[in-house]
Structure 1
Amino acid sequence: MARKNLIGISDDRAIEAEADLGRSSVDRPISGLISAARPASPVGGITRSLSNITQKVERAQELERQLAEGLAVVELDPAHVDASFVADRLGVAADAQSALAQQIREHGQQVPILVRPHPAEAGRFQVAYGHRRLAAAREIGAKVRAVVRDLSDEQLVISQGQENNTRTDLSFIERSLFATRLEDRGFARDVIMSALGVDKAALSKMITVVRRLPIDLIEAIGPAPSIGRRRWTELAELLEQDGKAEAAADFTNDETFQARDSDQRFEVLWAFLRAAKTRTKAVRWLAPDDTAPVRIRETESETTLSFNRKQAPGFADFVRQRLQSLYLEYQQETGD
């Protein structure tokens, strides 16, 4: 039903009635156009009521449109707001978070966060970006100012990533870990590229670095804001040497390591692994003729046989030709 018939009175009739009185049918106080006082009449009162109803409906519809388009800022209870389903940080320093909370306490929250209605829980919301501001609002017991938008999963992570790109406090490893987590959740690489603002080659390098590192080790080191891709790649190469991954795990569990800041944790671990020797064990196999034609080198991940061509010429080829039969014999004995 058209709004002009909400209470059964035609706008055309009202306009004609007011035209007979020689007055404007609409007050526009914002524009400075206010009609002169006029004698009360039934038709004029009805028209004013109709105008008020229409304006209220239009204001409500405009607010709904702004909320749907993310143009209006609302205040939400932080208890009703959940984090994004993909983390983009490896932790925030306590002093930095306290400083943010104090700033909001003194000056208010100047920049709203972006949330969407929670896809699985009615009455709740999920953050696209603004996790630190949300945490600060919780800390000081205040409402959090937010823009609410209907976002798909892809739109949320793109918004989250692009907001992060405008800041300088996300480190290389945090961005790379965020990209890897998105790929593990099934997001296409073009979506991840849009979220991070990087090209295909850069994204591939970022994900490759994370794939070469134990996630527990990355989390133990933290964001390491001063450490770039080259140094993380060097660390991955050190960890791939025999026995060093296990040594690194033991080293990072030490309390003195955990007490350092993130950049220092990276540096001391890198220096430790550079100095650590690969744990190997090498022995010579003694043959019945008292020669030692084979040297056996063992590490925690593999065993290597080295053949001495001077002491036993052709013995390496002899063993190589019989590897298949030896393996079949091994399977029969072990039941594999």
Structure 2
Amino acid sequence: MKGRDILKNMVSSSGGESTKAPIQAQSPHKPAGAVRAMNLSLGRLSDEAAAAKELRSALAAGDKVVELSPAQIEASFIRDRIPTEHDPALQELISSMRESGQQVPILVRPHPSKENHYQAAYGHRRLRAAVILDRPIKAIVRQLSDDELIVAQGQENGPRVDLSFIERALFAKHLELHGFDRDRISQVLSVDKPEISRLLQVADAIPEQIILAIGPAAKVGRPRWLAFADLLKDKAAFGRITKAIGEAEFTSIDSNERFRRLWLSGQAPKASKENSRGQIRTRKGLVLAAVERTSKGSKITITSRAFAEFLDAKMSDLVEQFDRENSSQTAN
């Protein structure tokens, strides 16, 4: 029996007799192709096993699965995922829920300030899918403190579908801003304190509006985000990047491609190869010096000893002439 069928039976029987059906162990001789088909792109088998364990624990604790209107439910007071229009996992979930219904309930708590409303601890993708499909959502309602809610939220994401590096960094920053200490943030994200420091280093270095514009960028790790943060320190690069974000087609491209495009936009324009090198010649074509122009300045290499002596003798006159002409142009 497939994991999702087990979950479906557990949800449907939660209001009556308790569920005793175990999750059958995967046979070691099962063909690898069948395993891949069950897991799909997100490791569906392990997801369903983790979800089934959570559901069994909830039912054993006496929690009941109820149906709620998605309009009654708000997101957690600290968002862990960066919203994006290009979310393959969400599209896959929508297809699954359309065909087979919602297999696993979400976890919510009564809203602390709105009567007959709730806040989601986890299951935000399922909530979004239910909104898109315009159908009620199955939920477990549990009394949770702020602390308990964010721990449940982090632990649900940890062993199942991992957040991208920048999503974890931003989540850690928001937790810190809400007053959670490093010990609690480490527990929520299931990482050690040095890793929390690395996450916060990136989240503090890059403006949040730029992170949100890029999105989760699942293929981009800490080294490239740190390099991107260094790039943003240059005012000219920052200007080029913000200009690229404002381009009409920017929001229509994949999140990883957005990062790549902004990275390229931030690079200094390469000096034109044309006229980057030149020579100083006499009327008869005799080479006196070579001129090299770069983004950092220009360099003249004198190859004629006679021309070098000439310049040395005339240098003070040339400087005075430059001052006169430059002052005249400034006055005009």
Q: TM-score range by the shorter chain?
A: 0.5 to 0.7
Question: Could you tell me which residue of structure 1 aligns to residue 250 of structure 2?
Answer: 257
Where do 1:13-52 residues align within 5 Å?
none
Task: Say whether the 8 Å CA contact 2:237–2:268 is kept in structure 1.
Answer: no
Cα-to-partner distance string for 1:193-238 (whole Å, 9 max, x where unaligned): 1110111110011011011111111111111010001110010011
Residues 180, 210 of structure 1: 8 Å contact kept = yes
1:269 and 2:293 aligned: no
Letter in 1 for 2:63: L
Cα distance in structure 2, aligned partners of 1:91 and 1:213: 18
Which amino acid in 2 is paired with 1:222?
Answer: G
Residue 223 of structure 2 aligns with an amino acid whose one-letter code is R
Shift of 1:102: 2.6
Cα deviation for residue 68 of structure 1 reads: 11
Aligned: 1:147 with 2:140: yes
Q: In structure 1, which of residues 101, 126, 134 is the aligned counterpart of residue 94 of structure 2?
A: 101
The answer to whether the 8 Å contact 2:237/2:265 transfers is no
Relative to structure 1, the CA distance from residue 84 to residue 70 in structure 2 (aligned partners, 3 Å threshold; closer, same or farther) is: farther
1:10-53 CA deviation, whole Å, 9 max, x = no partner?
A: xxxxxxxxxxxxxxxxxxxxxxxxxxxxxxxxxxxxxxxxxxxx
TM-score, normalised with respect to structure 1: 0.60
Residue 195 of structure 2, aligned match among 190, 202, 206 = 202
Deviations 1:259-313 (A, max 9, x none): 32110111121122234479x999xxxxxx9699xxxxxxxxxxxxxxxxxxxxx
Partner residue, 2:16: none
- What is the alpha-carbon distance in structure 1 between the residues aligned to residue 194 and residue 225 of structure 2? 17
Higher relative contact order (CA 8 A, sep 6+): 2
Q: Aligned partners of 1:70, 1:242: CA distance in 2, in Å?
A: 58
Task: Find the partner of 2:181 among 183, 188, 206.
Answer: 188
User: Is the Cα contact below 8 Å between 1:169 and 1:225 reproduced in 2?
Assistant: no
Which of the residues 66, 82, 88 maps onto 2:80? 88
1:75 aligned partner: 67
CA contact (8 A) 1:70 1:148 kept: no
- Cα gap change, 1:141 to 1:290, in 2 (>3 Å): same
Asked if structure 1 preserves the Cα contact closer than 8 Å seen for 2:240 and 2:265, the reply is: no
For 2:222 and 2:209, the matched residues in 1 are separated by 18
Q: Which runs of 5+ in 1 are unaligned?
A: 1-65, 283-288, 293-336
Report the secondary structure of 2:249's partner residue.
Answer: helix
**Correspondence for 1:176 among 161, 169, 178:** 169
Q: Distance in 2 between matches of 1:70 and 1:240?
A: 54
Deviations 1:85-107 (A, max 9, x none): 11111124266434322311211
Number of residue pairs aligned between Structure 1 and Structure 2:
220
Question: Can you give the 5+ residue segments of structure 2 that lack an aligned partner in the other structure?
Answer: 1-57, 272-294, 298-318, 323-332
Question: Is the 1:88–1:174 Cα contact (8 Å) retained in structure 2?
Answer: yes
For the 8 Å contact 1:70–1:147, the answer to whether it is kept is no
C-alpha separation in 2, matches of 1:94 and 1:234: 26
Q: What is the identity, as a one-letter code, of the residue corresponding to 1:252?
A: I
Distance 1:70 1:290, change over 3 A: farther
Mapped contact 2:70–2:130 kept (Cα < 8 A) = yes
Kindly state the Cα deviation for residue 110 of structure 1 after the two structures are TM-superposed.
0.8
Residue in 2 aligned with 1:310? none
Which residue in 1 is equivalent to 2:205?
A: 212
Give SS of 1:127's match: strand
Partner SS, residue 146 of structure 1: strand
Matching residue's letter, 1:185: H
Aligned to 2:114: 121
Q: For the residues of structure 1 that align with 2:321 and 2:115, how far apart are their CA atoms?
A: 79
Secondary structure (helix, strand or coil) at the match of 1:243 reads helix
CA contact (8 A) 2:164 2:218 kept: yes
TM-score (norm: length of structure 2): 0.61
Report if the CA contact (8 A) 1:69-1:149 is conserved.
no
| Matching residue of 1:305 | none
